[in-house]
């Protein structure tokens, strides 16, 4: 099975900071990688799919990059609403594997 590893966790940051979260796959997943944001008590929300495509309605300060085994989620200028936990996920025709999550907290 493919394993997804996120770093760092947690991540301490301030409003206005540029924030980068890394996700590494144990083997190549091409660009079949999504990013989700989850706030306490809520279901996750899709931010990025196919490694770098921004989901409709998601602010443009979120961006994704990478392919193969290394991916990043970048928040260009952290806003108060962005303090949450972020998950990467590999998906293919037979599995959906999540990373362990990165909690973005106030420094």
Partner 1 sequence: EVQLVQSGAEVKKSGESLKISCKTSGYSFTTYWIAWVRQMPGKGLEWMGIIYPGDSDIKYSPSFQGQVTISADTSIRTAYLQWSSLKASDTAIYYCARQGPVGAIGYWGQGTLVTVSS
Enclosing H/E stretch for 106: strand 102-106
Q: How far is the CB of 1 from partner 1 (least distance, A)?
A: 6
Residue of 13, 22, 52, 101 that binds partner 1 (CB under 8 A): 101
Please tell me whether residue 84 adopts helix, strand or coil conformation: coil
- Which structure tokens are listed for 86? 């972020």
Alpha-carbon distance 75 to 58, whole Å?
11
Residue of 16, 80, 81, 95 that binds partner 1 (CB under 8 A): 95
Count the residues of the shown chain that bind partner 1, applying the rule CB under 8 A: 26
Window 17-76: residues binding partner 1 (CB under 8 A): 32, 34, 36, 38, 43-46, 49-50, 53, 55
Four-CA torsion 62, 66, 69, 73, nearest 10 degrees? -10
- 83 contacts partner 1 (rule: CB under 8 A): no
């Amino acid at each position: 099975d493919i394993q997804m590893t996120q770093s760092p966790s947690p991540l301490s940051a301030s409003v206005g900071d540029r924030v980068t979260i890394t996700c590494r796959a144990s083997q190549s997943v091409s660009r079949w990688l999504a990013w989700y944001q989850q706030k306490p008590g809520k279901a996750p929300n899709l931010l990025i799919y196919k490694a770098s495509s921004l989901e409709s309605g998601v602010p443009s300060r979120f961006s994704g990059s990478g392919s193969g085994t290394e991916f990043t989620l970048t928040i260009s200028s952290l806003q108060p609403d962005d303090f949450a936990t972020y998950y990467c996920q590999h998906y293919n025709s037979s599995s959906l594997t999540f990373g362990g999550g990165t909690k973005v907290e106030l420094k």
